[in-house]
Amino acid sequence: MTFKVGLLGLGTVGTGTAEILLSPAGRLPLLKEIEIYRVGVRSLDKSRTLQIDKTLLTTDLESIVNDPEVDIVVELLGGLEPARSLILKAIANGKHVVTANKAVIARFGPEIFTAANEKGVYVLLEAAVGGGIPVIQPLKQSLGANRITSVMGIVNGTTNYILTRMTTEGADFGEVLADAQKLGYAEADPTADVDGFDAADKIAILASLAFNGRIKLEEVYKEGIRNVSAADIAYADKLGFIIKLLAIAKREEGSTEESDRLQLRVHPTLLPKSHPLASVNGVYNAILVEGEPLGQVMFYGRGAGAGPTASAVVSDIMNIAAVLKTETVPIPHPLISCSHQHYCSVGPVEDVVSRFYTRFLTNDQAGVIGKLGTSFGNHGVSLESIVQIGMRDNLAEIVVVTHDVREGNFRAALDEIRTSGAVDSIPSILRVL
């Protein structure tokens, strides 16, 4: 039996995927039954290192999703269009789909999975989150016996690389970003990574699987890392923390099965140095899942790159091939299909309870700390620590860490502090795990 794959895209991940499929020796025997049947590319003239029969290549991507011979369409184009339309067309033509496209799935997942369920085909996306880290299938299958309470992770390698270098070199964001761009670790337009869009797409997908419901991407709160400074990293270090861009999906405390409410957020976070995610450095990703009765489990590995991402893509192709091999008329396999109908309820960020780190610049005069304390007290904000270590631009630098507080109350206290004139400015406000 042979399963025919139509590959859309022969970039980094497409090439990695083709390399595995073209040389299956030493891997699972099932791989030998998977054939690259057509490959859609942007240009036939591009020089490629991949040894592939050139007659398989075409620039007519539609002809692949319309080809009756193709069983599985593997979409590795990236971007929203034509990827979304090609995926939908493949589904309409009764083809199974494997994609690495988190942007399409996070935005159009409901449309895509509804179409797939109606047609009785699978859409698998292991490579969309965490590159080579197996986390999608584990959330669907291996952890299926658990009630998940939180999923949090470092899911963007570019920002983790930048923050790691800022930490080790004491450098500011702008200079590390410029160097990362020169070295190819950050895109020329770094917005999707550094402003948290990529991480928001990924946590929306993880949350949907962990909490068994659809997610509206716009309900994911997000802040990127542009405002993280070398000064904050240094203070965090002195206080026993490291700063990471975390993507967090959490069942709110007190949620019941009937009235679940989630927190979905992406933001730079001060992590205690002893936290399992604190030592995830450079371009590595990690996802920490917590559930009952399992407790914590962490997935760690390379979140991008040809080999790791292709490993995830090919595992999805094998999953589909295995189902096709054992069922002549595939029925939605409850452990690999996605059949949620309802949308998860997501609470506003003002209701999130967490600790906060804040850096104030102020004139060094009597009564300032008293005024800060009074404003915080007026809004029920309890302080864990307050330190004044140095001067910056002739102003005293005061760093405060709060106890757990509702974000809305904390913001109200800061508004009062701003309007009271007690401080010159508030350069940084960061959440603490």
Where in the sequence numbering do the catalytic residues fall? 202
Count of residues touching ligand HSE (by CB under 6 A)? 7
Distances (CA, A) of 214 to 113, 242, 262, 335, 368: 10, 32, 12, 17, 47
Q: Residue 243 CB, nearest distance to ligand HSE (Å)?
A: 17
Candidate segments 156-164, 172-180, 407-415, 422-430, binder of ligand HSE by CB under 6 A: 156-164
The reply to whether 304 sits near ligand HSE by the rule CB under 6 A is: yes
Among candidate residues 130, 327, 80, 206, the one with its CA nearest the CA of residue 88: 80
198 to 227, contacts with ligand HSE by CB under 6 A?
Answer: 198
Binding mask 105-124 for ligand HSE (x = CB under 6 A): --------------------
CB nearer to ligand HSE: give 104 or 361: 104
**Is residue 164 a contact point for ligand HSE (CB under 6 A)?**
no
- The CB-of-158 to ligand HSE minimum distance in angstroms stands at 3
3-class SS letters over 291-341: EECCEEEEEEEECCCHHHHHHHHHHHHHHHHHHHHHCCCCCCCCCCCCCCC
Stretch that binds ligand HSE, among 21-29, 151-159, 218-226, 271-279 (CB under 6 A): 151-159
- Shortest Cβ 7–ligand HSE spacing (Å): 19
Q: At what angle do helices 157-169 and 173-183 cross, to 10 degrees?
A: 120
User: Cβ of residue 193: shortest distance to ligand HSE, in angstroms?
Assistant: 5
First to last CA, the chain: 52
CB 343 within 8 A of CB 215: yes
Token duo for residue 270? 């001060």
In the complex with ligand HSE, which residue's Cβ is closer, 106 or 396?
A: 106
Buried b / exposed e along 204-243 (16+ C-beta atoms within 10 A): bbbbbbbbbbbbebebbbbbbbbebbbbbbebbeebebbb
Pick one of 14, 132, 157, 268: the residue that binds ligand HSE (CB under 6 A): 157
101 near ligand HSE (CB under 6 A): no
Site for ligand HSE in 30-89 (CB under 6 A): none
Q: Please choose, out of 104-112, 155-163, 371-379, 425-433, the segment that lies near ligand HSE by the rule CB under 6 A.
A: 155-163
Smallest distance from ligand HSE to CB 374, Å: 43
Dist CA 254 CA 256 (whole Å):
6
Given a contact cutoff of 8 angstroms between Cβ atoms, the answer to whether 170 and 176 are in contact is: no
Binding site for ligand HSE (CB under 6 A): 156-158, 193, 198, 303-304
